[in-house]
Amino acid sequence: AELDTLDLVVLAAILLGTLAYFTKGKYWGIVKDPYATAFANANGAKAGRTRNIVEKMDESGKNCVIFYGSQTGTAEDYASRLAKEGKSRFGLETMVADLEEYDFDNLDTVPSDKVVMFVLATYGEGEPTDNAVDFYEFITGDDVALSEGNDPALGSLNYVAFGLGNNTYEHYNSMVRNVDKALQKLGAHRIGEAGEGDDGAGTMEEDFLAWKDPMWAALAAKMGLEEREAVYEPTFGIVDRDNLTRDSTEVYLGEPNKMHLEGTAKGPFNAHNPYIAPIAESRELFSAKDRNCIHLDIDVSGSNLTYQTGDHIAVWPTNPGDEVDRFLDVIGLTEKRNHVISVKALEPTAKVPFPTPTTYDAIVRYHLEVCAPVSRQFVATLAAFSPSDEIKAEMTRLGNDKDYFHDKTGPHFYNIARLLATVGKGQKWTNIPFSAFIEGLNKLQPRYYSISSSSLVQPKKISITAVVESQMIPGRSEPFRGVATNYLFALKQKQNGDPKPEPFGQTYELDGPRNKYDGVHVPVHVRHSNFKLPSDPGKPVIMIGPGTGVAPFRGFVQERARQAREGAEVGRTLLFFGCRKSTEDFMYESEWAEYKKDLGDKFEMVTAFSRESNKKVYVQHRLKERSKEVNELLQKKAFFYVCGDAANMAREVNSVLAQIIAEGRGVSEQKGEEVVKHMRAANQYQEDVW
Ligand code: FAD
């Protein structure tokens, strides 16, 4: 294939970018992430902190560090749990560390009486999480520059590894696999198996629990550790601040950082620092009564936030009031919900995951993932604090017996408060130290959405297309409701003057801490992605986006329509969309017709309505019907995009495409698969799936 000028420009840019990237990987500390640095400066947070892990462990008296590479907080949570367990069961002096905050060129000086653990999530297409990029490039690089020049380089390093992945992705757990391989190659000694958790099969938690026990046994043997009766020691101390009230200016009521507290919030806006954005417009996209899908336009003109078509926007949700109430009630804190407290780390390497002084209400509402499924290990930890012996026996059984736990909790979608309320049979759990919740619950995580607008058309207005999460639960009157999407739904209701903005009886603090989100505002930041249109609009594109998977393709088509209107030569633009019924959940139906006015025959939308005939028709069936054209377009170097459901759709589209290529080119299916693999490697096949 010939390269045109635009391609060359893009290639040059990629090369330069790659060079900068690797340079950054080798000469630590010289070129830093401008965002991280600006944020650190703005907050004075990281100033003066050592990036030398050996030094850090020495000065804090630690013999075990647990590094995490985490995107959504789960790996970080597992790291904390390992730290806690190592300390309570074996008396290890543990610390948890963000991979991003340390350098690794002296990993060869970690003495053999210490152990380094890695808890590593694999993100997207087998990529490291944002905070693990530098480490990953370093450790898997061809020429790992370690300080001492030992042979083998990491001969004295003892390590433990666990990965978090999703088997529906092509590069299942590639982070932990590749890091493990790299460490082995450098002569390091792994203790226990390299564990792998599978989110795709829904067994992440159980995979983790099943992996860690033999790992601890192997570690105890290797390091001569003796197991003791596990004693709970709080990581955080709670200090009552009786001289402060929730109206005192220094008290955080949900503000994410000091700038937000003081009303001086400014960019860069990122995963540590959201922009409180006005919602310009919001509306419903479905006409079905019992299902909701919403479109939001987020106005970022008051910030320096930018995006490119295909990027993701992160929404920072708050928990619904009824769940906050339930949680505070079951642990007997309703009366004290507005008491001001400070939370102090009781040991130097622990970090309080939210700013204080604050209130119990603000912690539960803004900072803890209290609605998430309960973890079996956490239930086991809480057993010791049961209000009666009978309840303790039940909690212990739930904590130890996997099948019993899943029978009892699985069908009910219990979160922690619902479980405690059920098991406690009305008794309050007043013995649980509040520290246990800070340690045992995940931090409330931002939710990502594929931006559904084009940055060319609306650079300062970011669109979101989201289905409101709701699932019927047998035996419960009201369905399970997702955190972020119901929060967004409530904002939409408010904006549209609905007399009952609280959807389904759930109340949200829509005005935010100190009414700072008054009007209709939502905290957001933008995450850049690699899901991108070809730089040359003349290239053909094939897009597969059923349901909300169509989100980024609304942006893509919007962009190409604008380019066509402005006179660019735009290539074939083929979109496969699927939903249940044309009359029910056909999103943006009238908009597509508008885009067609600009794009003419270049644009075609192929629809699959799964519930309009006896036979269920999905996008992959329609794709198959278009085999001939699809194959021809691919031979003309069309870009191929898939967005939406990772579990089934994306996989099936992949295999249908391999068949199309095999048949169209008269090669074996295996060869077809290989062609698809090459397309992926060359970015000609891009996925944005969740
Ligand atoms: P959550 O409260 O997070 O619940 C999500 C699921 O977790 C539930 O459905 C349930 O299966 C499980 N769960 C939660 N709590 C419990 C419990 N107590 N017991 C048992 N199970 C439980 N979504 C879109 O609609 N549009 C998009 O464009 C889009 N783009 C995305 C792009 C990326 C890169 C990613 C990673 C995700 C994207 N998503 C998108 C998904 C989105 O981020 C959210 O996951 C989704 O909106 C649900 O969020 P929620 O807070 O409402 O639900």
**pLDDT band at residue 27, thresholds of 50, 70 and 90?**
very low
Mean pLDDT in residue range 250-260: 98
When the pLDDT of each residue in the chain is averaged and rounded to a whole number, the result is 91
Pick the atom of ligand 1 nearest to 466's CA.
Answer: 25
Distance 646 CA to ligand 1 centre (A): 13
| Count of helix runs (H) and strand runs (E) in the chain | 22, 23
Asked if 506 contacts 322 with a C-beta cutoff of 8 angstroms, the reply is yes
Please give the Cα distance from 575 to 562 (Å, whole number).
17
The binding-site residues of ligand 1, defined as CB within 6 angstroms of any ligand atom, are: 312, 317, 371-373, 413, 415, 447-450, 465-467, 469, 482-485, 548, 551, 690
Distance 448 CA to ligand 1 centre (A): 9
pLDDT in the model for residue 363: 98
Half-sphere exposure of 119 (CA within 13 A, CB side): 27
Least confident piece of the model among 6-15, 74-83, 328-337: 6-15
Q: What is the reported pTM? A: 0.89
Residue 231, pLDDT > 70, answer yes
Q: Residue type at 172?
A: Y
Catalytic residues: 450, 643, 688, 690
pLDDT digits (tens, 9 = 90+) for 311-322: 999 999 999 999
What does the chain come to in residues?
Answer: 690
pLDDT in the model for residue 35: 34
Long-range contacts of 609-614 (CB under 8 A, 24+ apart): 609/578, 609/579, 609/580, 609/581, 609/582, 610/578, 610/579, 610/580, 611/580, 611/581, 612/581, 612/582
Least confident piece of the model among 391-395, 473-477, 502-506, 598-602: 502-506
Please give the Cα distance from 328 to 340 (Å, whole number).
15
Other Cβ atoms within 10 Å of 598 Cβ, number = 18
pLDDT in the model for residue 4: 54
Pick the atom of ligand 1 nearest to 413's CA.
Answer: 19
Asked if 106 contacts 139 with a C-beta cutoff of 8 angstroms, the reply is no
**pLDDT band at residue 347, thresholds of 50, 70 and 90?**
confident
Pick the atom of ligand 1 nearest to 451's CA.
Answer: 28
Q: In what order do the strands lie in the sheet with 461-467?
A: 447-450, 312-315, 521-527, 275-284, 293-299, 461-467
**Residue having the nearest C-alpha atom to atom 1 of ligand 1:** 482
Distance 482 CA to ligand 1 centre (A): 7
Query: What sign for the dihedral angle of Cα 68, 72, 73, 78?
Result: negative
Query: What sign for the dihedral angle of Cα 472, 473, 475, 476?
Result: negative
Other Cβ atoms within 10 Å of 280 Cβ, number = 18
**Residue having the nearest C-alpha atom to atom 17 of ligand 1:** 373
Mean pLDDT in residue range 375-386: 96
Distance 450 CA to ligand 1 centre (A): 13
pLDDT in the model for residue 508: 94
**Residue having the nearest C-alpha atom to atom 22 of ligand 1:** 373
**Residue having the nearest C-alpha atom to atom 29 of ligand 1:** 449
Identify which of 447, 478, 481, 643 to mutate to test ligand 1's pocket (most ligand atoms within 8 A of the CB).
447
Which of the listed ranges 35-39, 408-412, 489-493 does the model predict with the highest average pLDDT? 489-493
Mean pLDDT in residue range 339-359: 95
- Through-space distance between the first and last CA atoms of the chain, rounded to whole angstroms: 33
Pick the atom of ligand 1 nearest to 529's CA.
Answer: 34
**Residue having the nearest C-alpha atom to atom 40 of ligand 1:** 449
Pick the atom of ligand 1 nearest to 552's CA.
Answer: 28
**Residue having the nearest C-alpha atom to atom 44 of ligand 1:** 447
Q: Residue type at 98?
A: D
pLDDT in the model for residue 29: 26
Tell me the percentage of the chain whose pLDDT exceeds 90: 83
